[in-house]
Amino acid sequence: MEYTVNKLAKLSGVTTRTLRYYDEIGLLKPERTSSNGYRIYGQSQVDALQQILFYRELGCGLEEIRTIIKSRDFDISSALRSHLASLLKRKTQIEILIENVRKSIGTLEGETIMTDKEKFEGFKKNLISDNEKAYGKEVREKFGDETADASNAKLAGMSEEQWKMQKELEERFSETLKNAIKTDEPAGELSQRACDEHRQWLCMFWKDGAYSKETHRGLAEMYVADERFKAYYEKIAPGAAEFFKKAIDIYCG
């Protein structure tokens, strides 16, 4: 079956303007142009649009999507299986969050009693979900799904005592880093102590044996390159991200 721009827009739920833009940037070209100048899309374009929308839903940029679907190795069957796995994981996270919110509402309205343990478990699950939305794509691209999944699993299994310990470590390295910046010496004692405390903090979230100097340096690069990561360290002190990267490069050298 063939579709004009208007018909494909109505079928897919995207705007005609979006379809024309996809044509302009070479992401989704029509199968042909009719004698009266209408763009005509066939079944292969419909299938390609489905893939584009899947990847958009997963947070991929248009340039990244074009690279993926134009690759010689691209396989629709494998892509669909990958989409399914991602959606099922998201479904599980959403169902957990829904149940936690229901319990919270029930507790507030006096219908049920939510234990402190349940509240803590719900908090961790919310945090994992929020982290995935905010940083998951970048972390998975840089370090791989296995590393990201293992980190999420370790956070999910963290006891309240372990949670308290990691918060204390976070506060300690933040304070040490703040004081180290005043010295303006990335190789100085305080700076290197901040790096070591940072390493201890990271290991609270990574599976045993996962830490490496290369990974530590890679994270430091993200702290500078990505504004969302950078913002976390800039709250400690202005210029903290750049300074800390220099210190970590020395620490891991």
Residues 176, 235 contacting (CB under 8 angstroms): no
The pLDDT of residue 84: 81
- Positions of the chain with pLDDT under 50: none
Separation CA 156–CA 154 (nearest Å): 5
Residues 201, 173 contacting (CB under 8 angstroms): yes
Cα distances (angstroms) measured from residue 236 to each of 56, 89, 191, 203, 244: 34, 34, 14, 21, 11
| Domain-wise residue ranges, the chain | 5-69, 84-155, 159-251
The pLDDT of residue 115: 61
Q: Which CATH architecture has domain 5-69?
A: Orthogonal Bundle (1.10)
Four-CA torsion 69, 71, 76, 82, nearest 10 degrees: -80
The pLDDT of residue 120: 64
Mean of the per-residue pLDDT values of the chain: 85
The pLDDT of residue 121: 67
Taking alpha carbons only, the member of 35, 14, 11, 36 closest to residue 23 is 14
Looking at this protein, which amino acid is placed at residue 169? L
Q: Tell me 39's DSSP state.
A: E
Assigned token pair, 130: 């929020």
Cβ partners under 8 Å of residue 32, min gap 6: 40
Residues 247, 187 contacting (CB under 8 angstroms): yes
Of the CATH numbers 1.10.490.50, 3.40.140.10, 1.10.645.10, 3.40.50.460, which one belongs to the domain with range 159-251?
A: 1.10.490.50
Taking alpha carbons only, the member of 250, 249, 234 closest to residue 181 is 234
Residues 50, 89 contacting (CB under 8 angstroms): no
The pLDDT of residue 27: 92
- Mapped onto helix, strand or coil, the DSSP state of residue 227 is helix
